[in-house]
Amino acid sequence: MVKRQLTLRQKSILQFLKNYLKINGYPPSLRDICAEFGIKGAKNARKHLEALERKGFISRHPNRSRAIDILGGAIESTAPVTSVPIAGSVQAGEPHLAVEDIVGHVKLDSAFFDLDGSFVLKVEGESMIGAGIAEGDYLLVKPGSEVANNDIVVAMLDGEATVKRFFRDDPVITLRPENPEFKPIKIVEEEVGADINFSLIGRVINVIKSV
Protein backbone atom coordinates (compact mmCIF):
# COMPACT_ATOMS: atom_id res chain seq x y z
CA MET A 1 0.00 0.00 0.00
CA VAL A 2 1.33 3.45 -0.94
CA LYS A 3 1.19 5.76 2.05
CA ARG A 4 -0.36 9.21 1.55
CA GLN A 5 0.83 12.37 3.26
CA LEU A 6 -0.46 13.05 6.76
CA THR A 7 -1.70 16.33 8.18
CA LEU A 8 0.19 17.71 11.19
CA ARG A 9 -2.65 16.63 13.51
CA GLN A 10 -2.57 13.10 12.07
CA LYS A 11 1.22 12.94 12.54
CA SER A 12 0.84 13.99 16.17
CA ILE A 13 -1.87 11.39 16.80
CA LEU A 14 0.18 8.67 15.13
CA GLN A 15 3.19 9.54 17.27
CA PHE A 16 0.98 9.48 20.36
CA LEU A 17 -0.27 5.99 19.41
CA LYS A 18 3.29 4.74 19.09
CA ASN A 19 4.46 6.30 22.36
CA TYR A 20 1.41 5.07 24.28
CA LEU A 21 1.82 1.53 22.95
CA LYS A 22 5.52 1.52 23.84
CA ILE A 23 4.90 2.69 27.43
CA ASN A 24 1.73 0.72 28.24
CA GLY A 25 1.97 -2.34 26.01
CA TYR A 26 -1.47 -1.70 24.49
CA PRO A 27 -3.01 1.06 22.34
CA PRO A 28 -4.92 4.03 23.79
CA SER A 29 -8.71 4.18 23.85
CA LEU A 30 -10.72 6.79 21.96
CA ARG A 31 -11.20 8.55 25.30
CA ASP A 32 -7.41 8.66 25.81
CA ILE A 33 -6.96 10.24 22.38
CA CYS A 34 -9.67 12.81 23.08
CA ALA A 35 -8.06 13.74 26.40
CA GLU A 36 -4.57 14.08 24.92
CA PHE A 37 -5.56 16.34 22.03
CA GLY A 38 -8.62 18.13 23.38
CA ILE A 39 -10.89 16.43 20.85
CA LYS A 40 -14.60 16.68 21.61
CA GLY A 41 -16.33 13.32 21.23
CA ALA A 42 -15.14 9.81 20.44
CA LYS A 43 -16.67 10.09 16.98
CA ASN A 44 -14.18 12.81 16.03
CA ALA A 45 -11.24 10.81 17.41
CA ARG A 46 -12.44 7.81 15.42
CA LYS A 47 -12.33 9.90 12.23
CA HIS A 48 -8.62 10.55 12.76
CA LEU A 49 -7.99 6.82 13.19
CA GLU A 50 -10.00 6.09 10.06
CA ALA A 51 -7.82 8.57 8.15
CA LEU A 52 -4.63 6.96 9.45
CA GLU A 53 -5.92 3.54 8.44
CA ARG A 54 -7.05 4.77 5.02
CA LYS A 55 -3.60 6.25 4.40
CA GLY A 56 -1.89 3.00 5.35
CA PHE A 57 -0.24 3.90 8.68
CA ILE A 58 -2.31 1.73 11.03
CA SER A 59 -4.70 -1.20 10.86
CA ARG A 60 -7.68 -1.75 13.15
CA HIS A 61 -9.83 -4.71 14.14
CA PRO A 62 -13.45 -3.56 14.47
CA ASN A 63 -14.52 -6.50 16.65
CA ARG A 64 -11.78 -6.06 19.26
CA SER A 65 -11.37 -3.32 21.87
CA ARG A 66 -8.32 -1.06 21.53
CA ALA A 67 -7.19 -3.14 18.55
CA ILE A 68 -4.80 -0.84 16.70
CA ASP A 69 -1.69 -2.10 14.93
CA ILE A 70 1.02 0.40 13.94
CA LEU A 71 2.31 -0.50 10.49
CA GLY A 72 6.05 -0.39 9.84
CA GLY A 73 7.84 2.82 8.92
CA ALA A 74 5.03 5.09 10.07
CA ILE A 75 6.99 7.87 11.79
CA GLU A 76 10.59 8.00 12.90
CA SER A 77 10.52 11.35 14.70
CA THR A 78 10.77 11.18 18.47
CA ALA A 79 10.41 14.93 19.01
CA PRO A 80 8.26 15.78 22.03
CA VAL A 81 4.72 17.03 21.69
CA THR A 82 4.39 20.38 23.49
CA SER A 83 1.26 22.02 24.86
CA VAL A 84 1.00 25.59 23.49
CA PRO A 85 -1.51 28.12 24.89
CA ILE A 86 -4.36 29.45 22.75
CA ALA A 87 -4.51 33.11 23.78
CA GLY A 88 -7.93 33.95 22.40
CA SER A 89 -8.59 35.27 18.90
CA VAL A 90 -7.36 37.98 16.54
CA GLN A 91 -9.25 39.83 13.83
CA ALA A 92 -8.19 39.43 10.20
CA GLY A 93 -10.34 42.39 9.26
CA GLU A 94 -11.07 45.56 11.13
CA PRO A 95 -9.29 45.64 14.52
CA HIS A 96 -11.40 44.53 17.45
CA LEU A 97 -10.96 44.10 21.17
CA ALA A 98 -8.24 41.55 21.84
CA VAL A 99 -8.98 38.42 23.81
CA GLU A 100 -6.02 38.01 26.13
CA ASP A 101 -7.10 35.20 28.44
CA ILE A 102 -5.88 31.67 27.79
CA VAL A 103 -8.86 29.80 26.33
CA GLY A 104 -7.23 26.41 25.81
CA HIS A 105 -4.15 24.58 24.63
CA VAL A 106 -3.08 22.78 21.47
CA LYS A 107 -0.54 19.96 21.17
CA LEU A 108 2.22 20.69 18.63
CA ASP A 109 5.34 18.77 17.64
CA SER A 110 8.54 20.75 18.15
CA ALA A 111 10.03 18.95 15.14
CA PHE A 112 7.72 21.03 12.94
CA PHE A 113 7.33 24.29 14.89
CA ASP A 114 9.43 26.84 16.76
CA LEU A 115 7.54 26.60 20.06
CA ASP A 116 9.87 28.45 22.45
CA GLY A 117 7.67 31.14 24.00
CA SER A 118 5.14 30.97 21.16
CA PHE A 119 1.37 31.09 21.50
CA VAL A 120 -1.64 30.46 19.28
CA LEU A 121 -4.43 32.79 18.17
CA LYS A 122 -7.60 31.86 16.32
CA VAL A 123 -8.43 33.94 13.24
CA GLU A 124 -11.68 35.84 12.81
CA GLY A 125 -12.39 37.64 9.55
CA GLU A 126 -11.16 37.46 5.96
CA SER A 127 -8.75 40.36 5.40
CA MET A 128 -5.76 37.98 5.02
CA ILE A 129 -7.23 35.37 2.66
CA GLY A 130 -4.70 36.37 -0.03
CA ALA A 131 -1.95 35.14 2.28
CA GLY A 132 -3.72 31.82 2.83
CA ILE A 133 -5.11 32.85 6.23
CA ALA A 134 -8.84 32.17 6.54
CA GLU A 135 -11.40 32.52 9.30
CA GLY A 136 -11.09 29.62 11.74
CA ASP A 137 -7.38 29.07 11.09
CA TYR A 138 -4.91 29.17 13.98
CA LEU A 139 -1.79 31.33 13.94
CA LEU A 140 1.40 30.38 15.77
CA VAL A 141 2.85 33.69 16.95
CA LYS A 142 6.41 34.42 18.09
CA PRO A 143 6.21 37.31 20.61
CA GLY A 144 8.34 40.40 20.16
CA SER A 145 8.70 43.59 18.18
CA GLU A 146 11.58 42.51 15.91
CA VAL A 147 9.86 42.23 12.55
CA ALA A 148 10.84 42.97 8.96
CA ASN A 149 8.99 44.40 6.02
CA ASN A 150 6.54 41.92 4.48
CA ASP A 151 6.26 39.90 7.72
CA ILE A 152 2.76 39.00 8.85
CA VAL A 153 2.29 40.39 12.35
CA VAL A 154 -0.19 40.63 15.19
CA ALA A 155 -0.47 44.25 16.33
CA MET A 156 -2.38 46.21 18.96
CA LEU A 157 -3.90 49.49 17.86
CA ASP A 158 -5.70 51.60 20.47
CA GLY A 159 -6.38 48.53 22.60
CA GLU A 160 -7.59 46.40 19.71
CA ALA A 161 -5.84 43.55 17.90
CA THR A 162 -5.40 42.81 14.23
CA VAL A 163 -3.29 40.57 11.96
CA LYS A 164 -1.80 42.21 8.87
CA ARG A 165 1.31 42.34 6.70
CA PHE A 166 3.87 44.81 8.10
CA PHE A 167 5.71 47.54 6.20
CA ARG A 168 7.82 50.42 7.56
CA ASP A 169 8.75 53.37 5.36
CA ASP A 170 9.86 55.97 7.91
CA PRO A 171 8.02 57.71 9.37
CA VAL A 172 4.98 55.64 8.33
CA ILE A 173 4.09 52.09 9.36
CA THR A 174 1.56 50.36 7.13
CA LEU A 175 -0.48 47.34 8.20
CA ARG A 176 -1.59 45.93 4.87
CA PRO A 177 -4.43 43.42 4.39
CA GLU A 178 -4.31 40.64 1.78
CA ASN A 179 -7.83 41.25 0.54
CA PRO A 180 -8.73 44.15 -1.78
CA GLU A 181 -12.01 44.66 0.08
CA PHE A 182 -10.08 45.99 3.10
CA LYS A 183 -8.04 49.18 3.38
CA PRO A 184 -4.48 49.42 4.75
CA ILE A 185 -3.96 50.91 8.21
CA LYS A 186 -1.35 53.68 8.25
CA ILE A 187 0.41 54.81 11.44
CA VAL A 188 2.75 57.80 11.72
CA GLU A 189 5.47 56.80 14.18
CA GLU A 190 5.74 60.28 15.72
CA GLU A 191 2.11 59.99 16.82
CA VAL A 192 2.62 56.67 18.63
CA GLY A 193 2.34 57.16 22.38
CA ALA A 194 0.75 60.60 22.11
CA ASP A 195 -2.26 60.32 19.83
CA ILE A 196 -2.08 56.60 18.98
CA ASN A 197 -1.57 53.52 21.11
CA PHE A 198 0.33 51.06 18.90
CA SER A 199 2.50 48.03 19.62
CA LEU A 200 3.61 44.86 17.91
CA ILE A 201 2.59 41.67 19.71
CA GLY A 202 4.60 39.32 17.55
CA ARG A 203 5.33 37.75 14.18
CA VAL A 204 3.20 35.00 12.65
CA ILE A 205 5.48 32.03 12.01
CA ASN A 206 2.98 29.33 11.07
CA VAL A 207 -0.64 28.96 9.96
CA ILE A 208 -2.42 25.85 11.26
CA LYS A 209 -5.48 24.77 9.29
CA SER A 210 -8.24 22.32 10.12
CA VAL A 211 -8.97 19.62 7.55
- Catalytic-residue membership of 164: yes
- Closest among 116, 49, 110 to 78, alpha carbons compared: 110
Annotated catalytic residue, options 12, 89, 127, 142: 127
- Catalytic-residue membership of 127: yes
Annotated catalytic residue, options 22, 164, 183, 210: 164
| Long-range own/partner contacts, residues 175-182 (CB < 8 A, 24 or more apart) | 177/92, 177/93, 177/127, 177/128, 177/130, 178/127, 178/128, 178/129, 178/130, 178/131, 178/133, 179/126, 179/127, 179/128, 179/129, 179/130, 181/126, 181/127, 182/93, 182/94, 182/127
Which residues are known catalytic residues? 127, 164
